[in-house]
Structure 1
Amino acid sequence: MDGVPAVRRRRLGEELRRLRDLAGLTSGEAAGHAGWHQSKVSRIETGRSTVTAQDVTLLLDLYGVRDRALRDLLATLAGRGSSRGWWHDFRDVLPVEYRDFISLETGATRARSLENSVVPGLLQTPQYARALTRDVMPQLDEPAVAALVDVRTARQAVLRQDPPLELWAVLDEAVLRRGVGGSEVMDDQLRRLQEAAELPHVHVQVLPFSAGGHMGVTNSFVIFSFPRIADLDVVVVDHLTSSLYVDRKEDVAAYTAAFTRSRTRALPREESAAKIAEIRLQLPAGRRT
């Protein structure tokens, strides 16, 4: 369990080792062709050493990998994504950990989110995001709040890209009833959830209070899955002041099982949509259109 850079190094190293084996090369042979010492290949494959996108490109050429999507993904894991992505423009207000989180989110093909307190960022309206940011980080001035809201909105492009990110969001009922920003903001937010749930690649399910305790009561988390690479899933667990990145296979399996149990206990898609509509109608006096 480490930060994103360590997670990416290990995952990248595992995949490069697999591709080397498929190419029929030993680590010594690969190092010789690359003009490196054998220890460099070993450190890269075990995640003990940083690796540049240029190093990855050289190894992929040696291994005969021509798949453009796979090459781009591995270059992103090597760090190219975090240095060239749109989020780099917000480096003055975004900590490195958040920029790395966005780079993982952007490279993923599927995200499974279990949320116990707030609407997932990919489904937030700007008004909701602004009210939440002000409440959670009251020390920020208005320009910083506006920048973070812009980032939250820009992240949602992954739901409109081709192909779009597949999002599974299991929301505790408390998420829908917590009055972030007041009734008008919540009315717009719940309507946004209703609209998003109609998209074929967005699956929204509600865990009603009647479901009792569940994993999400103690921890909200998201599981990212990536294309082309087996066992690349990464779990991000939210804490008050930081996030924990989990990539050990047995830990990822435990979170995956917890998400599956929560999804099974949640209301089906149609009943979840009806629950959101019901809660929206129960909002205190406010705009409901």
Structure 2
Amino acid sequence: MSEKRQHVPTVRLRRLAAELRHLRAGAELSREDVSEKTGINVATLYRIEKARARPQKRTLIALLDLYEVQDPLRDELVSISRGTSDQGWLRPYHSELPEEYTAYIGFEAEARSMRNYESLFVPGLLQTEDYARAVIKGTLPTASQREVEQRVQARMERQALLAKEQPLQLWGIVDEASVQRLVGGRGVMRRQAQHLLDVLEEPHVTLQVITFDKGAHAGMAGSFVHMDFQDPADPELVYVDNLAGDLFLESEVEIRRYRSMFEHLRAVAQSPKESSDLLAKVAARD
């Protein structure tokens, strides 16, 4: 994989991009109009508005002047811009991981709460090391041992989010297939089920299972993660991972759709207590 430094968008960069898009729309200007009035290249403006580039200070000031932005919003956006490069959670070796994955790691580290539906896997933040290794080897059959171990290490490090002073609030929903499939063998699955039972003792972690007898349900279309952040002004984010590629969704229509889908899944799933009872049976198997 490439050793060059990757661009990983942060929550603050996304917030700045969203504000600049909103301001341009409010001024009823196209990107071409802005380019003509400021001299900012259209491609550069596109990258700034898509959170793919941090604007230089003079570029940001030119945009704020054009949009006639006054304090306190003006000062706030300049301040946000100064902090958009903060990616302190990422480790040096993460530059060797896929860019979409490192972006996800960065967003996850800044999230206040997460709602995660998984159709086939135990959520990554709740996986044991043995289970994670078996999953990664199984789903990435061409990965080298080094690549597998890097991903396992990253997955284990991510779990520190559940143990910090103000832990991530995690609500997971899984299809029963995720706890019944023998990933790594019976011993691995017994230890994984027991680990889930241990983690679920924490008040900030909830897990529900949708049992096979529920039949078809809204989550069968695929897994997703819905995150929100400490500052209410930071836009919510939905992450979808599939064979076609990783998607980060942030429009209000998309956020509402996935928020509604998660509520439907919560309603059809077993209660947290019933789900723990099922996990206890898996943990007790020979």
Q: TM-score, normalised by structure 1?
A: 0.76
Aligned mates of 1:105, 1:273 — CA distance in 2: 25
Give the Cα separation in 2 of the matches to 1:49 and 1:273: 41
Distance 1:106 1:6 in 2: 10
- Of the candidates 115, 135, 153, which is equivalent to residue 138 of structure 2? 135
* Of 148, 153, 178, the match for 1:150: 153
Residue number in structure 2 paired with 1:14: 18
Equivalent residue in structure 2 for 1:80, among 74, 82, 86: 86
The residue number in structure 2 matching 1:47 is: 49
- Aligned 1:220-259 pairs, distance under 5 A: 220-230=223-233, 232-240=235-243, 242-259=245-262
In 1, Cα distance between equivalents of 2:76 and 2:276: 44
Superimposed CA distance per residue, residues 164-219 of structure 1 (whole angstroms, 9 cap, x where no aligned partner):
11000001111110100000100110011111111110011111112221122121
Q: Does 1:271 align with 2:277?
A: no
Q: Secondary structure at the match of 1:237?
A: strand
CA contact (8 A) 1:10 1:45 kept: no
Shift of 1:229: 2.9
Q: CA deviation at 1:8?
A: 7.2
Deviation, structure 1 residue 240: 2.3
- Distance in 2 of aligned mates of 1:75 and 1:268: 45
SS in 1 for 2:143: coil
In the superposition, relative to structure 1, how do residues 57 and 163 fare at CA in structure 2: closer, same or farther (>3 Å)? farther
Q: How big is the alpha-carbon RMSD for the aligned residues of Structure 1 and Structure 2?
A: 3.7
The answer on 1:121 being equivalent to 2:124 is yes
Question: 1:34 corresponds to which residue?
Answer: none
Corresponding position of 2:221: 218
Aligned counterparts of 1:49 and 1:160: Cα–Cα separation in 2? 30
Counterpart residue number, 1:91: 95
Q: Retained in 2: the 8 A contact 1:7–1:247? A: no
Give, in whole Å, the separation in 2 of the partners of 1:256 and 1:166. 16
SS of match in other structure, 1:156? helix
| Residue of structure 1 equivalent to 2:165 | 162
Structure 2: where are the runs of 5+ without partners?
A: 1-6, 28-37, 65-70
Contact 2:119/2:222 (CA < 8 Å) preserved in 1?
Answer: yes
| CA offset digits 1:194-250 (Å, max 9, x no partner) | 111111100111111122211221211010111213471111112025222211111
Separation of aligned partners in 1, 2:192 and 2:255: 31
Whole-Å separation in 1 of the counterparts to 2:129 and 2:13: 34
Counterpart of 1:232 in 2: which secondary structure? coil
Q: Does 2:199 match 1:193? A: no
Q: Which amino acid aligns with 2:17?
A: G
Report % sequence identity: 33
Residues 238, 215 of structure 1: CA spacing in aligned structure 2 closer, same or farther, 3 A cutoff? farther
Contact 2:115 2:171 in 1 (8 A): yes
Q: Deviations over 1:108-129 (max 9, x none)?
A: 1111001110011100000001
Task: Write the letter of the residue equivalent to 1:13.
Answer: A
Q: Distance in 2 between matches of 1:195 and 1:16?
A: 45
User: Does the 8 Å CA contact 2:10/2:85 hold for their aligned counterparts?
Assistant: no
Counterpart residue number, 1:30: none
Alignment of 1:32-71 (within 5 A): 37=38, 43=45, 47=49, 50-52=52-54, 55=57, 63-65=74-76
Asked whether the equivalents of residues 117 and 172 of structure 1 are also in contact (C-alpha less than 8 Å), the reply is: yes
Corresponding residue SS for 1:213: coil
For structure 1, the residue ranges without an aligned partner over 5 or more in a row are 21-25, 27-36
User: CA offsets per residue over residues 3-53 of structure 1, 9 Å max, x none?
Assistant: 9859975542334688x9xxxxx9xxxxxxxxxx5969x948981575538
Determine the C-alpha separation between the residues in 1 that align with 2:281 and 2:148: 31
* 1:230–1:210 distance in 2 versus 1, CA, 3 Å: farther
TM-score by length of 2: 0.77
